[in-house]
Amino acid sequence: MSLENFYSRAGHLVRRLNQIAVAIFLEETGGIGLTTVQWAALQMIREIPRIDQASLSSMIAFDKTTIVKVLDRLAEKGLITRTRSQTDRRSNLLDVTPRGRSALNKVEPLMDRIEQRILAPLSAGDQRKFLEMLTQLVHVNNAYSRAPLDREVWSDLLRKQGTQVQSPGKARRAPRKEKKGGTG
């Protein structure tokens, strides 16, 4: 296989883009002390209070071993609490602490800028197309993931919570570009 062929493979490019996205996230949020996986878990716990660990794993598409380690770190940092379920003693229910809410409130305003930096080389139209195609690829190939997103768990939890959250798998608009010279 030629080097050109190696560097142009979809898997290689997706892995590299993930590395770039993580690096940009960490650069923008460095002082807050969250990884991308910790942010995803904390965000979902806030969206669905008292979610159990297994459902959280399914909701953010991370394997159960990884999510336990992530939750250990979030608990050590005082960002979440774990409470033993009264109905299933094997299950822990998760909640975000005030400190966790504060961390999320600091990250939220940075997320648009992070996404803008990742997508900046593309025109607004290409950004939309890219997100639509990426969403399609992830949705269609979900079953091949080591930790597939479980849409049934997603639907059940949202129904129980009465939560109005956009379904995963639907592409959203590309972020607006920041105006140059603005006070942003």
Beta partners for 51? 94
- pLDDT above 90: percentage of residues in the chain: 58
Torsion of CA 114, 124, 164, 140, to 10 degrees: -90
Prediction pTM value: 0.79
Sign of CA dihedral 21, 23, 24, 28: positive
130-183 pLDDT per residue, tens: 999 999 998 899 888 878 777 777 677 667 666 554 555 554 444 444 444 443
CATH class of 35-161: mainly alpha
pLDDT at 157: 65
Rounded Cα–Cα distance for residues 87 and 90 (Å): 9
Range 139-145, long-range pairs (CB < 8 A, 24+ positions)? 139/169, 142/61, 145/61
Instruction: State pLDDT tens for residues 1-11.
Output: 688 888 889 99
